[in-house]
């Protein structure tokens, strides 16, 4: 079983690693590949309140600008400053060092499993 099997996913091409009331969020390898070379990442401030489904940041690439959505409602508890200063990390390791934010949440919404997400990317 790979790390990707343990993650949850959103239709907006984000992955969520949820444990003990904290959701670590990043974009999927599929999204990173579609975006192309990431050149800029704009993330919310630590302590910001976020609502599931709302835009909380932007990821800019040489091809386009994509929005980052909050997959859960809660409070930003950490921001990956490494991707702000080295945005190419999002492309190089989207499921690891390229994580974007951590959100403290009270309730985890219904998210997609790996097979459901993969079906979405094939359609």
What would the pLDDT profile of 98-122 be if each residue is shown by its tens digit? 999 999 999 999 999 999 999 999 8
Residue 11 has pLDDT above 60, yes or no: yes
Helix (H, G, I), strand (E, B) or coil at 33: helix
Confidence at residue 1, expressed as pLDDT on a 0 to 100 scale: 46
Rounded-to-integer distance, Cα 6 and Cα 98, Å = 17
CATH of 3-108, one of 2.40.50.100, 2.40.420.20, 3.40.30.10, 3.40.50.1820: 2.40.50.100
61 phi, psi to nearest 5 deg: -125, 180
Residue 49 has pLDDT above 60, yes or no: yes
């Amino acid at each position: 079983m790979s790390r990707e099997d343990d993650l949850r996913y959103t239709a907006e091409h984000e992955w969520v690693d949820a444990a003990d009331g904290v959701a670590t969020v990043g974009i999927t390898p599929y999204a990173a590949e579609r975006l192309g070379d990431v050149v800029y990442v704009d993330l919310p401030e630590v302590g910001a309140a976020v609502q599931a489904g709302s835009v909380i940041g932007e990821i800019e690439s040489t091809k386009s600008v994509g929005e980052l959505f909050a997959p859960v409602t809660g409070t930003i508890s950490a921001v990956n400053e490494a991707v702000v200063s080295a945005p190419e990390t999002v492309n190089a390791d989207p499921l690891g060092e390229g994580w974007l934010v951590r959100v403290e949440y009270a309730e985890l919404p219904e998210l997609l499993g790996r097979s459901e997400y993969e079906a979405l990317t094939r359609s």
